[in-house]
Structures are given as C-alpha cells and as structure tokens.
Amino acid sequence: MPEEGIFVHQFELGPWENFIYLIGDRATRTCAVVDPAWDADVILAEAERLEVDIRHVLCTHSHFDHVNRVDALLEKKDILVHMLGEEIDFSGFRCENLERHRPGDVLRIGEHLDITMMHTPGHTPGSTTYRIRDAIVTGDTLFVQGCGRCDFIGGDPEVMYQTLKRLTESVPRGTRMYPGHNYGPVTVSTLDEELRGNPYLQHQTVRDFVAHRMEGKTPGTKLPPPPKWP
C-alpha cells in the first residue's frame, strides 16, 4: 500500500498466475477490482476480508483470463465496468453496466483516488495501463523482466515497442509497476528497475525488439483454450 489515503492490494488467482488488484480509497473503503478472473467468490471474499466495497471493475484488456468473471461479479453487485473504446471495438466485449472510455479519462474512487486510463496497445489494440499517483497497473503490457506477447490476434510488436518507449519516457522512473501476471522474480517492480534489467527494454531499434519479441512466434495466433478451473 504505497500511498497514504489509497491502497493497492495484489493477490494471485487462477492457473495462469494472474494478479487481481483491489485499488481504492482508505477513507471511504471503496475500491475498484482490476481484471476479475477465475473465481468471483474468492475476489468478493478478499474484499470482505479487507473490509472494502467493490464499486468498479477496471479491465486492462479483453482476454478471457482477465475478464472471465466480470459477469459473475455483476450477478452479485451492481457495479460499473470500465474499458477503453479501442478494446471494446476490437474484441466485441459486452456486459451489463459497461462504460466506454477514451485514453486520458480519469475515474475518481472515493475521496482521494484518481485513476487515469493510459492507452498502451501492443498486446491488444485497446490495452490499458491504469495510473495511480506514483504507481501503474500494467496488465499484459509490461511484466517484471518481461512484456506481453504480441503474436495473438490483435497484437503488434512494432506498436508494443513504441508503447513501451512512450510509457517509460512519460512516467517517472521511480514509479511502482504492478503487472498482470506473476511471471517474474518479484511481484512488484519499479520502472527504474525494469529499465535496468528488463531485456525487452534494452533494444535501441524497433527491428531488434520485434526480432526478440517474435522469436519462435507466429503472428495472428489464437488464444489457447481456457484451462479447466473450479
């Protein structure tokens, strides 16, 4: 919980090591859940354990391992779901209470928390990073010591290179980075640490980045089928 007045709670869920986040305002105990997947009851139980009330869903992108329990949450809570318009148009994602957003839109949670929606395409056309004061929640755009795949349908390694360059140049180096999966040696990093050690941030040309990111990959790959999960 890096800032007084707000909280960022990270927990792992599902067979693909997804990180789910509850981010919110300490004063009102209201929050948003980022990328609710795999088990709605566990997510709601975690919110109850922390004594916080989920009021919003924030979707970093539309892949099923990030949104497959949105509908289940909506069956139990009348809450708003937020996604960039670029991702809605690309994926055809639909649900109740879906709010269409533009890059740069700001969502206020409680009294103290403003969340800015940053358009960070490359993994998908409408992938979103959520900026929270001195932290970012990056979904599948940037991982600890990695970055999102660009070979799935809608992915684009050249766009990803430009996204990562723009992200790392526009956000302060000390910014804490919360990734969408537990794929690295630590669960939370900073941009400074990633700029020093993340191999995907070391390339000086888009050509070198694309060669690295797409090595052994076939563009236009479909997502693998979802694994069985209780």
pLDDT tens digits, the chain, 230 residues: what are they? 444 589 999 999 999 999 999 999 999 999 999 999 999 999 999 999 999 999 999 999 999 999 999 999 999 999 999 999 999 999 999 999 999 999 999 999 999 899 999 999 999 999 999 999 899 999 999 999 999 999 999 999 999 999 999 999 999 999 999 999 999 999 999 999 999 999 999 999 999 999 999 999 999 999 998 887 77
The CATH code of the domain that includes 68 is: 3.60.15.10
Domain with 80 in it: 6-213
Classify residue 229: in a domain, yes or no: no
Beta-carbon contacts of 188 under 8 Å, excluding residues fewer than 6 positions away, are 10, 144, 176, 177, 178
Structure tokens at 147: 């970055």
Instruction: Note the pTM of the prediction, 2 decimals.
Output: 0.95
Classify residue 228: in a domain, yes or no: no
Domains in the chain: how many in total?
1
